[in-house]
Amino acid sequence: MKNIFFCALCVFFLAACSSDKPKSDAASTATTTQTAAPVSKSSATDKLKEVSVLETDITARVGRGMDKLMEEYQLAAETMEGFDNPAYTIDEKCNVVFSYEERGTKYEKHFNLGDLEHRNGRMTLEADNGEDIKFPGFRIATGDGEASVMVYKEGKEYQKDNEWYVVLANRKSVENAAPNVVNMINICQKVKAQK
């Protein structure tokens, strides 16, 4: 009796395992996979064309770089107490107006990216000259050493600097921003040389 019961149980399990239902699920899955349309090369090319910028469109190229930098500045504004509302404008000659608020006071820095130089020690990846600063950053001096970075406080000329000081939220932001800034300076130095 035990053997008959055991054999009947085995036949039942074999019948359950060989049902058509799982095969039909597998077949429909295979059909779905096969009917998926491959990405055509032309659609990928079209997408690249949509986001690409012409090499001759200096404002768009440098604007894209400034937009990337502003993403890091926005993160800094969320992280750094007293630093708010970073924004910029740029024209076709690479003149930048970078504005922000520091503890409720509005500042603007006016400079030309082509006047800055990242070679020969003109770019320093230090927080500040030995001062205890909580956030990392970098300084980019003017190529000729002239104080051509104009700083305005509440709309009035406040001081002139010979460098643009970029302070960001963390070291990763600096790593993201520094090569981008170098690229923008290279583009704008070519623009300045064409004058």
For every one of its 195 residues, what pLDDT tens digit does the chain have, with 9 covering 90 and above?
A: 555 545 555 544 455 555 554 444 444 444 444 445 555 556 665 554 555 556 667 778 888 999 999 999 999 999 999 999 999 999 989 999 999 999 999 999 999 999 999 987 788 776 555 555 678 889 999 999 999 999 999 999 999 999 999 999 999 999 999 999 999 999 999 988 886
Residue type, 168: L
pLDDT at 29: 46
pLDDT at 140: 94
pLDDT at 161: 95
pLDDT at 45: 57
pLDDT at 41: 59
Do the strands 163-167 and 137-141 form a parallel or antiparallel pair, or are they unpaired?
Answer: antiparallel
Counting DSSP H helices and E strands in the chain, the numbers are: 5, 8
Contacts of 147 (CB under 8 A, 6+ apart): 160, 161, 162
Cβ pair 96, 88 in contact under 8 A: yes
pLDDT at 17: 52
For the question of whether the overall pTM of this predicted structure is more than 0.75, the answer is no
Exposure pattern of 37-64 as b/e (b: 16+ CB <10 Å)? Answer: eeeeeeeeeeeeeeeeeeeeebeebbbb
